[in-house]
């Protein structure tokens, strides 16, 4: 039997849309202790952005973009990990001692975990480390009530990070933490940014354990292990996830008037925020040499992030939307109208 000490740990960062997974991953990767870490990023939609937002592009970072990890690309996940392992063994890429998977916020975590744990090839080289789940303090209560993926993400976690506590009221945070504790009573929990995230503690005792997790979590994991290696998982449009939920990208070449764009996005989320599960993008702002990253979740717009430089030669603005029952054409028409105002 393979000694688990010699196996490469695989950490999963999970959490619903807009809960801060990429921000957390960026903080982890900034720690020198994680310099030799391979990263797999899964995005739900036509255009991948998270790998650009990390501002790190190298041969040990892989973007999985053909669907959500719980659905159409379970095989792609396995192939990507095997490929990184083969390249590491032959010296084609820098040696890595850890792998981190950032899943899309719509992903059920259990198929991901079962793939690493039970794949006949992967299990001889990799093992599951801590699962870290982020939960949005502002929208988390509603997400746990409406989105089954969110419940599973919390239930399976070895470490829990409640984000955005600086913009959520205390009563809301207390209620959310109580809800989380009903689903997962044992995992250490941080409220960020009210408490300093201890990166060492996030990855301490770095071995995924079902013991102590809820009976539901144990059942979900066992069911996925039983399915691993079979074809018993659904296949669908990789830009759709369930009835009404779809992802799409809007790409435009002309530099954006920042004031007009801010007015448009604020009005859009104010009117249709309940149906906009996530919006994020990189914008080419008129008069700026570097791009600006924007993020929004339902009715909430986060402060823009001024990136250090463009991640590649593509200078077009890119916005990715994940919506529930909202017409794509409506968004495109309204944005085009505002862009024409800026060009006038």
Do 120 and 279 meet the contact criterion of CB atoms below 8 Å apart? no
Q: Give the per-residue pLDDT at 47.
A: 44
Q: Give the per-residue pLDDT at 65.
A: 52
Q: Give the per-residue pLDDT at 75.
A: 75
Q: Output the CA torsion 118→122→128→129 (10° steps).
A: 180
Read off the pTM. 0.81
Each of the 344 residues of the chain gets a pLDDT tens digit; together they read: 455 668 999 999 999 988 999 889 988 988 999 989 998 887 654 444 454 444 445 566 766 654 444 444 567 788 889 999 999 999 998 899 999 999 888 888 998 898 898 888 999 999 999 999 999 999 999 999 999 999 999 999 999 999 999 999 999 999 999 999 999 999 999 998 767 788 899 998 898 988 888 999 999 998 888 876 554 444 444 444 555 778 888 898 889 999 999 999 999 999 998 889 889 889 999 999 999 999 888 888 888 989 888 888 889 999 989 888 899 999 999 998 888 886 66
Rounded Cα gap, residues 5 and 133, in angstroms: 24
Rounded Cα gap, residues 314 and 99, in angstroms: 28
Q: Give the per-residue pLDDT at 241.
A: 54
Q: Give the per-residue pLDDT at 227.
A: 76
Close Cβ partners of 288 (under 8 Å, ≥ 6 residues apart): 306
SS3 267: helix
CB crowding 293-310: b at 16 or more within 10 Å, else e: bbbbbbebbbeeeebeee
* Torsion-angle region of 45 (φ positive above 0: left; ψ -120 to 50: alpha; else: beta): left
* Torsion-angle region of 228 (φ positive above 0: left; ψ -120 to 50: alpha; else: beta): beta
Helix (H), strand (E) at residue 246: strand 245-252
Q: Give the per-residue pLDDT at 104.
A: 84
How many other β-carbons are positioned within 10 Å of the β-carbon of residue 132?
A: 25
**CA quadruple 110, 302, 33, 49: dihedral sign:** positive
Q: Give the per-residue pLDDT at 228.
A: 66
SS3 81: helix
Q: Give the per-residue pLDDT at 3.
A: 58
Do 320 and 279 meet the contact criterion of CB atoms below 8 Å apart? yes
| Cβ neighbourhood burial of 145 (10 Å; 0-12, 13-18, 19+) | exposed
How many other β-carbons are positioned within 10 Å of the β-carbon of residue 61?
A: 17
Do 103 and 110 meet the contact criterion of CB atoms below 8 Å apart? no
Give CA angle at 121 (115, 124), nearest 5°. 100
Q: Give the per-residue pLDDT at 225.
A: 83
> How many CA within 13 A on the CB side of residue 269?
19
Rounded Cα gap, residues 131 and 270, in angstroms: 34
Axis-axis angle for helices 148-156, 109-118 (nearest 10)? 50
């Amino acid at each position: 039997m393979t000694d688990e000490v010699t196996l490469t740990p695989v950490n999963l960062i999970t959490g619903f849309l807009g809960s801060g997974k990429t921000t957390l991953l960026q903080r982890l990767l900034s720690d020198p202790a994680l310099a030799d870490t391979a990263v797999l990023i899964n995005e739900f939609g036509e255009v991948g952005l998270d790998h650009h937002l990390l501002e790190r592009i190298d041969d040990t970072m892989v973007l999985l973009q053909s669907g959500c990890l719980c659905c159409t690309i379970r095989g792609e996940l396995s192939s990507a990990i095997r490929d990184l392992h083969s390249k590491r063994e032959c010296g084609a890429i820098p040696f890595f001692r850890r792998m981190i998977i950032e899943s899309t916020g719509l992903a059920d975590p259990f198929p991901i975990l079962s793939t690493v744990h039970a794949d006949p090839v992967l299990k001889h080289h990799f093992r599951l480390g801590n699962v870290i789940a982020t939960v949005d303090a502002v929208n988390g209560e509603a997400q746990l009530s409406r989105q089954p993926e969110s419940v599973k993400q919390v239930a399976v976690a070895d470490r829990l990070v409640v984000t955005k506590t600086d913009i959520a009221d205390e009563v809301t945070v207390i209620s959310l933490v109580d809800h989380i504790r009903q689903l997962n009573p044992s995992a250490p929990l941080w409220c960020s940014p009210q408490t300093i995230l201890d990166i060492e503690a996030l990855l301490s005792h770095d071995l995924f354990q079902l013991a102590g997790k809820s009976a539901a979590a144990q059942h979900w994991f066992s069911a996925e292990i039983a399915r691993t290696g079979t074809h018993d998982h659904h296949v669908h449009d990789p830009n759709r996830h369930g009835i009404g939920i779809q992802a799409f990208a809007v790409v435009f070449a002309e530099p954006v008037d920042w004031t007009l764009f801010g007015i448009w996005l604020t009005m859009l989320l104010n009117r249709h925020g309940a149906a906009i599960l996530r919006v994020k993008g990189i914008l080419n702002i008129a008069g700026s040499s570097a791009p600006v990253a924007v993020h929004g979740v339902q009715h909430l717009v986060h402060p823009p992030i001024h990136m250090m430089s463009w991640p590649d030669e593509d200078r077009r603005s890119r916005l990715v939307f994940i919506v529930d029952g909202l017409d794509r054409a409506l968004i495109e028409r309204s944005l085009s109208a505002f862009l024409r105002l800026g060009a006038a």
